[in-house]
A and B are shown apart, each in its own frame.
Chain A
């Protein structure tokens, strides 16, 4: 291994102070930060989006507070999806780790990160997933983790496979891991999907492409890290997540 590979990444992220007092307002998100609820390419949105315009909800106490779920749902070893059964799951063992920040760059500590995914063959352990790829008796595909003081989470899992779906002719989902983040406030709640770099299915997937800004799409793609890769054990993927940050919010609707 060369010196260069052993060195720490040059752009080591600045460590911010731990989070301060509970914010009393959060910045509004710019238009297009999230995909539209009505998106032609993804057929199931047609009957599942509101037709009436959304009504602006001023941020009040219910929106700026949030639950403490970790003590309720966490169990020992929940962040290792490869040790939940007697045997080891089949597939490419990987670690998925990263940090949860707000848009000010402050890490969110103690926040719940939940994931679920298909197995290496692209099959979910779910009664309504009927595509004929094998189930793995040693893989359930769900995990939980609570971020540490630096906002860091880490999972050990199996790289999920891509799989076909019925949206259009020859439709396939790029390999992905579902992520659910509670944040610290109702307003920060986020459900998203983490993708893998260089997936050949990207150009054809309406869910991935429902995020119209190519730079925003990039924020859903993890990066491979040789530095985090555990020798003789597991390839490492890194995925940082940014939730809405504190800041002034307009009293009236954004224009």
Chain B
């Protein structure tokens, strides 16, 4: 390393004038087979929804392929698949709602043996009052077997793992994010 990184600063309260875009909440085009809503509420340490957050997600398609900008691995063949969603509003109420599909299981680096990662979605949260993004992962509560073998979940204390599980509901999955308190979401150091 010959240079140091530029430091992070908060996204501030007014990001909505620059960052959201029309199809931002859609990681897949509307009408994609198997598409569902991933929705939830983001709570601060007082249990109050955070209205001015920006949430971004990144994931593989159901075949475990990415729409990576440099074509890492085999490129996704799902029509219109972006695998990326961005959600943030000028007048937010603390909830997010993105449209996506469930990613496939993914291989792991050789150092992790032949384990496979359970379906997961990487999440970044930015907000006023956050000087650096916070990162978490969405797993799926109905993937019991895959979750049990996941090498990242294995690093999380058993009692905290439920904070990473999206729960199925009629329209898709629900995933709340809590910054503090007894059910504080697990955040990762990337």
Q: Which residues of A contact B (CB under 8 A)?
A: 22, 24, 27, 29-30, 33-37, 39, 42-52, 54-69, 72-73, 101, 103-105, 110, 114-116, 118, 124-129, 140-143, 178, 180, 184, 186-187, 189-193, 207-208, 210-211, 215-217, 219-220, 241-245, 247, 251, 253
B120 nearest in chain A by CB position: A62
| Interface membership of B9, Cβ < 8 A | yes
Known A42-B129, A55-B189, A191-B126; judge A140-B17 contact (CB<8 A): yes
Q: Which of B100-137 contact A (CB under 8 A)?
A: 106-109, 111-112, 117, 120, 122, 124, 126-135, 137
A73 nearest in chain B by CB position: B21
Question: Which of B30-38, B69-77, B168-176 is the interface stretch?
Answer: B69-77
Task: Say yes or no: B58 contacts A103, CB within 8 Å.
Answer: no
Known A35-B132, A207-B10; judge A50-B17 contact (CB<8 A): no
Q: How far is the CA of A168 from the CA of B1 in the complex (A)?
A: 38
Task: Say yes or no: A48 contacts B127, CB within 8 Å.
Answer: yes
| In the complex, chain A residues whose CB is within 8 Å of the CB of B71 | 22
Task: Say yes or no: A116 contacts B131, CB within 8 Å.
Answer: no
A52 nearest in chain B by CB position: B184
Encode contact with A along B161-190: 1 for CB under 8 Å, 0 otherwise.
Answer: 000000000000000000110001111111
Task: Say yes or no: A243 contacts B9, CB within 8 Å.
Answer: no
| In the complex, chain B residues whose CB is within 8 Å of the CB of A118 | 14
Task: Say yes or no: A50 contacts B184, CB within 8 Å.
Answer: yes
Q: How far is the CA of A189 from the CA of B2 in the complex (A)?
A: 19
Task: Say yes or no: A54 contacts B23, CB within 8 Å.
Answer: no
B43 nearest in chain A by CB position: A47
B117 nearest in chain A by CB position: A60
Task: Say yes or no: A184 contacts B69, CB within 8 Å.
Answer: yes
Q: How far is the CB of B87 from chain A (nearest CB, A)?
A: 14
Known A48-B50, A116-B14, A124-B17; judge A22-B3 contact (CB<8 A): no
A19 nearest in chain B by CB position: B70
Task: Say yes or no: B4 contacts A47, CB within 8 Å.
Answer: no
| In the complex, chain B residues whose CB is within 8 Å of the CB of A34 | 5, 7-8, 131-132
Task: Say yes or no: A57 contacts B7, CB within 8 Å.
Answer: no
Task: Say yes or no: B12 contacts A245, CB within 8 Å.
Answer: no
Known A33-B4, A48-B50, A244-B5; judge A63-B152 contact (CB<8 A): no
Q: How far is the CA of A205 from the CA of B150 in the complex (A)?
A: 43
Task: Say yes or no: B19 contacts A116, CB within 8 Å.
Answer: yes
Q: How far is the CA of A191 from the CA of B184 in the complex (A)?
A: 24
Q: Which of A39, A58, A114, A211 has the most CB of B within 10 A?
A: A58
Interface pairs (7), CB distance under 8 Å: A22-B70, A47-B180, A48-B128, A126-B16, A142-B17, A178-B12, A216-B4
Q: How far is the CB of B50 from chain A (nearest CB, A)?
A: 7
Cβ-defined partner of B107 (8 Å) among A61, A124, A243: A61
Q: How far is the CA of A241 from the CA of B5 in the complex (A)?
A: 7
